[in-house]
Amino acid sequence: MTYALLSVLLLAAVGWAGGVVGNTSLLFAVIIPYAALAVFVLGFLFRAIGWSASPVPFCIPTTCGQQQSLPWIRQDRLGSPTSTPWVIGRMALEVLLFRSLWGNERVEIKGAGKLIFSPKRYLWLGGLLFHWSLAVILFRHLRFFTEPVLPGIAALQGLDGFFEIGVPVTYVSDVFILAAVTYLFARRALSPQMRVISLPADYFALFLIAAVLLSGVLMRHFFKTDVERVKEMAMGLVSFCPVVSAHPGAFFSIHLFLVSILVAYFPFSKLMHAAGVFLSPTRNLRNDSRMRRHVNPWDYPVKVHTYEEYEDEFREAMIEAGIPVEKK
Amino acid sequence: MAEDKLKQEELLNVSYEPAARDWAEPSVTFRKGTYCYGAPLKHQKYLGLPNQREWQPTDPDWKLPENWKEIILEGMETLLKRHRSFRLYLDICVRCGACADKCHYFIGSGDPRNMPVLRAELLRSVYRRYFTTAGRVFGRLAGARDLTEEVLKEWFYYFFQCSECRRCSVYCPYGIDTAEITMMARELLNLVGINIQWVVEPASNCFRTGNHLGIPPHAMKETLQFAVDELKDITGLTVDLPINKKGAEILFVAPSADFFASPHWFTLLGYLALFHEIGLDYTWSTYASEGGNFGLFHSTELAKRLNAKIYAEAKRLGVKWVLGGECGHMWRVLHQYMDTLNGPADFLEEPVSPITGTRFENARSTRMVHIAEFTADLIKHGALKLDPSRNDKVRITYHDSCNPARAMGLFEEPRFILRNVANHVYEMPENTIREKTFCCGSGAGLGADENLEMRLRGGYPRANAVRHVHERHGVNMVACMCAIDKASLTPLLEYWVPGVEVGGVHEFVGNALVMTGESRTTNLRGEPL
């Protein structure tokens, strides 16, 4: 955990230095973001294509509901889908609403051998808040990258700032995501079981995301940032005519640099679950393995014990017992 | 019995607080009662397995081949290329911990390495070290570990403490299936000759004689004949016993435990009574006398070698389709693997019930029907005369076996049957049935006697749910459709919930079935009605 924290702090410092030390804006505002993006796109494709190109030799969905069998037995089409639209439905609920996590419960043996089940949905809530807030935030950011600003973004922004607290208004998504990240960190750091299973990389991802969020929030609410110039830079980046000028503010530099790091780190980390979740054979296959033959592309012949070999060994005893044989 | 020595209070004194020690430091003690014995040389030889030798996990020297590390890493590379599940599940876990307390072995033991996430991490750490840049460069910091003999021992211990029940994969937000990870780990261990007696011996027996118990054909006929005689004593009727009969319409394949073990035996009597009553044109096979497939607990290759017999025999006998008996992982193989492994079964016909005319659309490619589907259809069509009051002695709860539940989705058929053949059927709590069902604690080859402590620990969540309905509804019978369940729930419940017995669904069908011309005074167990 310490290493993870230190490395994120170090990265933030580098980002800050990039903003204040002269003559580095080309590197920090142009080269690094472009390089990061390139790494992200190529890395993401490399990983995702690598997974999808690898064979799925067997049809192994985890069935979470009644199979399709006799016509009068009601099939659970979501838990045990036999058609692609229902697989898409199952996946959509998984990806958009974290259906499996919703079913989470704690199980433990407590005094006198009682097995206690208790619903445990905080992880579901924390995860859902985190991911949906992140989606809203990413979408909101498009206002920097589009001119005229894409339709819908203003509306979303209005909704997100509905409570009109503070100037500039505080976004609900910001509050939610910070709360969610705090929760995700706290459960990892405080629960002894979670601590055992956590790797430095798990903390690193959390700290890095938290630092990106914090730098973003700080520059919006506390350390004035030249939004005009941010927009100019963002438009420059997307139109491939990057603008090299003084940075709009120190926290912006940190933010941009950390985002670049996050984006470049993404394809090589567990964050790739974002793509992997779609490819999981226990979730994205139809439960139709007795209806349609699933082919294993690397299937090979194996040594079997044939009936002839079997009969050769047991023929006499079989005849004696009156069991029909092929060769008398 | 050994279990008398195990104090319940001691087993239940489980701490979920992991020791502060870093899990990355491999360490394993082969404590008696928590591991299985190594595979005997004779059976390694018969199957032609690698690195044949006499070997026990407690041996200080595991007699590994000199280049064992290379073998494992090359094997890993092959598996990564062959199975998307393997690579993906090694890559995308975010260690959210949702799976941790879903494993019956973790609930029962508190051993942190029995959390599915950490079980997978035992393998994942080695994958990182040799197959990812971060792992190669940053080592421990990136969660990578060197592959050492200690790590290998740890793999053996913990991947033979996973019953491949898939419960964790129900709860994982990405569907990461520890059964997949365990299967791959076992494939790797096999490469250097590490597997257990309880897997290799049944597999070798099955390869040679057609069934796990190693029953040669004449002995099998004898035992089936014994069942026919017993059924005559009970019902006064002599039922047919077709064996290796060419031209029969249906080949029937059951787990071989059904004709040797108890309480499986009563399920066998149930099958025989049912088939006789409906006049089914079927046959047993001595060559394909095993539906269960312990090859699955070894490698896909061995699973294929054993499974091949079913189609081969169906072809030789010229049957139209195949009917399968009550078994758990047998149905994992038949439902999810058989058509892929040994299909296409184009020499068979799409299964149609000769009694009701129902076309089993869901088995139109594999052409193998589960007996619960078959019987449920018979009952629905009123093809059976049933007297549920003959099961009034028992108050039943239905235990979903892991594989028919989470690798097939067979939930309603057995419940429908039970509701029609018995008057007192109760469900265990919601979070312990259907796709959330708990393993008996002995699946995937772990049912060995020497592994008893682990089985009792892992089986506790199931036993606890049974106790709940035992106390609340007076349940005294667990009905299930898995040969391993029948074998292992019996001692499990005797230990945790005395007074509750175990039976197969078709035992209760056989009890309730009113047969033409019968005269019965007892149920299939010989107890007065």
**Structural contact between residues B270 and B254, judged by C-beta atoms closer than 8 angstroms:** no
Measure the CA–CA gap between B516 and B278, rounded to whole angstroms. Answer: 10
B18-40 residue pLDDT tens? 876 677 788 888 999 999 999 99
Distances (CA, A) of A272 to A50, A100, A322, B93, B177: 12, 19, 63, 9, 18
Distances (CA, A) of A209 to A31, A141, B264: 22, 16, 57
3-class secondary structure, A177? helix
Instruction: Count chain A–chain B contacts defined by CB atoms under 8 A.
Output: 312
Evaluate whether residue A199 is within a structural domain: yes
Contact A241/B at CB under 8 A: no
Of B83, B95, B208, the CB nearest to A199: B95
Q: Closest approach of chain B CAs to the CA of A182, in angstroms? A: 14
Evaluate whether residue A113 is within a structural domain: no
| Count of residues making up chain B | 529
3-class secondary structure, B431? helix
> Residue A280 and residue B173: Cβ atoms within 8 Å?
no
SS3 annotation, B209-250: HCCCCCCCHHHHHHHHHHHHHHHHHHHCCCCCCCECCCCCCE
- Of A20 and B84, more confident: B84
B101-115 residue pLDDT tens? 999 999 999 999 999
Is it the case that residue B334 has pLDDT exceeding 80? Answer: yes
> Residue B170 and residue A80: Cβ atoms within 8 Å?
no
DSSP one-letter string for B495-522: HHSTT-EEEEHHHHHHHHB--TT---SB
> Residue A291 and residue B362: Cβ atoms within 8 Å?
yes
Supply the CATH number for residue A10's domain.
1.20.950.20
**Structural contact between residues B203 and B173, judged by C-beta atoms closer than 8 angstroms:** no
ipTM above 0.90, yes or no: yes
Token output for B68: 């064992």
B198-236 residue pLDDT tens? 999 999 999 999 999 999 999 999 999 999 999 999 999
Note the pLDDT of residue B17. 84
Q: In percent, how much of chain B has pLDDT > 70?
A: 99
Of A68, A303, A307, the CB nearest to B312: A307
Query: Mean pLDDT across the stretch B183-197?
Result: 97
Is it the case that residue B4 has pLDDT exceeding 70? Answer: no
Evaluate whether residue A86 is within a structural domain: no
Evaluate whether residue A129 is within a structural domain: yes
B125-181 residue pLDDT tens? 999 999 999 999 999 989 999 999 999 999 999 999 999 999 999 999 999 999 999
Q: State the CB neighbour count (10 A cutoff) for residue A38.
A: 12
Together in a domain, A13 and A127: yes
Together in a domain, A272 and A308: no
**Structural contact between residues B212 and B256, judged by C-beta atoms closer than 8 angstroms:** yes
Together in a domain, A243 and A139: yes
Together in a domain, A24 and A43: yes
Evaluate whether residue A318 is within a structural domain: yes
**Structural contact between residues B191 and B79, judged by C-beta atoms closer than 8 angstroms:** no
Q: How confident is the model at residue B1 (pLDDT cuts 50, 70, 90)?
A: very low
By CB atoms closer than 10 A (0-12, 13-18, 19+), residue B516 is exposed
Measure the CA–CA gap between B297 and B287, rounded to whole angstroms. Answer: 21
Mean of all residue pLDDT scores within chain B: 96
Q: In percent, how much of chain B has pLDDT > 90?
A: 94
> Residue A51 and residue B358: Cβ atoms within 8 Å?
no
Evaluate whether residue A190 is within a structural domain: yes
Contacts of B196 (CB under 8 A, 6+ apart): B36, B37, B38, B39, B160, B445, B448
> Residue A200 and residue B143: Cβ atoms within 8 Å?
yes
Q: How many domains does chain A have?
A: 2
Q: How confident is the model at residue B453 (pLDDT cuts 50, 70, 90)?
A: very high
Together in a domain, A172 and A206: yes
Is it the case that residue B432 has pLDDT exceeding 80? Answer: yes
Contacts of B193 (CB under 8 A, 6+ apart): B44, B49, B50, B51, B52, B53, B55, B63, B64, B65
* Residue position matching structure tokens 């229902």: A86
Is it the case that residue A44 has pLDDT exceeding 70? Answer: yes
What are the domain boundaries of chain B?
A: 2-30+50-194, 203-512
| Residue B436 with chain A: CB contacts under 8 Å | 103
DSSP one-letter string for B44-96: HHHHT-SS-----TT-S-----TTHHHHHHHHHHHHHHH-HHHHHHHH-----
Together in a domain, A137 and A9: yes
User: What H or E segment, with its residue span, contains residue A202?
Assistant: helix A200-221
Measure the CA–CA gap between B363 and B132, rounded to whole angstroms. Answer: 42
Q: Which residue, among B172, B218, B332, B415, would best test binding to A if mutated, counting the most A CBs under 10 Å from its CB?
A: B218
Note the pLDDT of residue B266. 98
Of B88, B207, B373, the CB nearest to A69: B373
Q: How confident is the model at residue A22 (pLDDT cuts 50, 70, 90)?
A: low
Together in a domain, A25 and A138: yes
Together in a domain, A226 and A268: yes
Instruction: Please give the biggest Cα pair distance in chain A.
Output: 99
B363-394 residue pLDDT tens? 999 999 999 999 999 999 999 999 999 999 99
Token output for A18: 């990039």
**Structural contact between residues B438 and B167, judged by C-beta atoms closer than 8 angstroms:** yes
Distances (CA, A) of B71 to B59, B139, B236: 21, 21, 61
DSSP one-letter string for B107-173: HHH--GGGSHHHHHHHHHHHHHHHH-HHHHHHGGGGT-----HHHHHHHHHHHTS-----HHHHH-T
* Residue position matching structure tokens 């402590």: B453
B59-75 residue pLDDT tens? 999 999 999 999 999 99
| Count of residues making up chain A | 328
Contact B526/A at CB under 8 A: no
Distances (CA, A) of B53 to B62, B187, B261, B468: 9, 18, 31, 47
Sheet holding B282-283, edge to edge: B282-283, B250-253, B321-324, B368-370
Note the pLDDT of residue B362. 97
Is it the case that residue B433 has pLDDT exceeding 90? Answer: yes
> Residue A314 and residue B245: Cβ atoms within 8 Å?
no
Token output for B295: 């090859």
Q: How confident is the model at residue A246 (pLDDT cuts 50, 70, 90)?
A: low
Q: Which residue, among A64, A74, A196, A313, would best test binding to B if mutated, counting the most B CBs under 10 Å from its CB?
A: A196
Q: State the CB neighbour count (10 A cutoff) for residue A41.
A: 12
Measure the CA–CA gap between A181 and A129, rounded to whole angstroms. Answer: 9
Together in a domain, A213 and A161: yes
φ/ψ (deg, to 5) at B369: -110, 140
> Residue B95 and residue A270: Cβ atoms within 8 Å?
yes
Q: Which of B204, B265, B84, B226 is nearest to A284 (CA)?
A: B84
Q: Which amino acid is at B118?
A: L
**Structural contact between residues B98 and B172, judged by C-beta atoms closer than 8 angstroms:** yes
Note the pLDDT of residue A61. 98
Together in a domain, A285 and A324: no
Domain around A323:
302-328
CA B291 distance to own-chain centroid: 11
Together in a domain, A188 and A313: no
Q: Closest approach of chain A CAs to the CA of B496, in angstroms? A: 10
Q: What does DSSP assign to residue B284?
A: B
Query: Mean pLDDT across the stretch B481-503?
Result: 97
